[in-house]
């Protein structure tokens, strides 16, 4: 398998050979769904918390005597059926939302998503993306140039979840340049995960020879 490499001006700058085991796998919706839902669950913070009848304030005294009043029997004002009483079956912050994800499942889901994005034409390889200064204007110019490539016209859409830029290593100037763009998200290749891939339309792999080698080594 081969793919074209482009420069920041949107012009062809060569080709790169890709592994069938990473960019040529068939689609597996069940696997991807299971891994993505588990990752979303692991990110969930259990901050919602309600008090039960043992935690609300007051209610130590019996509201009225058991018999002789003609009213229903009650033993505490902290009962869930009273206003200001405890909550029944409400959210509790001790609930654990974590789900185990096997390493092989996570790797297979990542390779499946990479293959699907490559097959549908949503992966673009950029030979170099080193911005000398942290200028949002320069970053917007790069996105605009790459949007001129056939099939990547929607890169210019100014909405969240448009493009994920995968860098081979951390570059502060590049991250600062793109962080003010609503349609671009910057990360490192070693941190690629199914959740970020499925949340962005396009994947821009920078310095493809080094980046692809890192991906293939990770998923081998």
Whether residue 167 sits in one domain with residue 86: no
Whether residue 198 sits in one domain with residue 91: no
Q: What is the pLDDT, as a whole number, of residue 1? A: 85
Domain end, chosen from 34, 65, 96, is at 96
Share of the chain above pLDDT 90, in %: 78
Q: Which of 18-27, 124-133, 194-203 has the lowest mean pLDDT?
A: 124-133
Q: What is the pLDDT of residues 7-37, one digit of tens each?
A: 988 899 999 999 999 999 999 999 999 999 9
- Predicted TM-score (pTM) of the model is 0.83
Whether residue 86 sits in one domain with residue 57: yes
Q: At what angle do helices 103-119 and 29-43 cross, to 10 degrees?
A: 120
Q: How many domains does the chain have?
A: 2
Q: What is the pLDDT of residues 98-114, one digit of tens each?
A: 999 999 999 999 999 99
Whether residue 144 sits in one domain with residue 63: no
Whether residue 145 sits in one domain with residue 69: no
Query: In the predicted model, is pLDDT for residue 187 greater than 80?
Result: yes
CATH code at 192? 3.40.1370.10
Whether residue 90 sits in one domain with residue 127: no
Q: Alpha helices of the chain — where are they, by DSSP H?
A: 20-23, 29-43, 103-119, 136-146, 172-178, 194-198, 208-219
Domain span at 203? 2-44+98-219
The pLDDT mean for the chain works out to: 92
Whether residue 36 sits in one domain with residue 120: yes
Q: What is the pLDDT of residues 57-97, one digit of tens each?
A: 987 889 999 999 999 999 999 999 999 999 999 999 988 99
CA distance 151 to 168: 24
Whether residue 125 sits in one domain with residue 71: no
Whether residue 127 sits in one domain with residue 193: yes
Whether residue 61 sits in one domain with residue 132: no
Query: Pseudo-torsion of CA 29, 201, 124, 193, nearest 10°?
Result: -60
Whether residue 154 sits in one domain with residue 68: no
CA distance 78 to 83: 8
């Amino acid at each position: 398998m081969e793919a074209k490499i482009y420069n920041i001006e949107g012009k062809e700058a060569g080709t790169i050979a890709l592994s069938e085991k990473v960019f040529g796998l068939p689609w597996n919706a069940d696997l991807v769904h299971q891994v993505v839902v588990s990752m979303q669950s692991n990110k969930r913070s259990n901050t919602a918390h309600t008090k039960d009848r043992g935690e609300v304030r007051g209610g130590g005294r019996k509201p009225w005597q058991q018999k002789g009043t003609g009213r229903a029997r009650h033993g505490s004002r902290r009962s869930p059926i009273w206003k200001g009483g405890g909550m029944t079956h409400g959210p509790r912050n001790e609930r654990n939302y974590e789900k185990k994800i096997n390493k092989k499942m996570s790797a297979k889901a990542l390779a499946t998503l990479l293959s699907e994005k490559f097959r549908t034409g949503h992966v673009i390889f950029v030979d170099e993306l080193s911005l000398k200064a942290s200028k949002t204007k320069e970053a917007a110019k790069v996105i605009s140039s790459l949007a001129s490539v056939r099939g990547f016209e929607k890169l210019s859409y100014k909405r969240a979840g448009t493009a994920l830029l995968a860098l081979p290593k951390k570059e502060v100037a590049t991250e600062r340049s793109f962080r003010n763009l609503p349609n671009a998200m910057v990360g490192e290749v070693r941190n690629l995960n199914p959740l970020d891939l499925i949340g962005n339309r396009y994947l821009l792999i920078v310095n493809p020879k080094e980046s692809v080698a890192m991906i293939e080594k990770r998923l081998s």
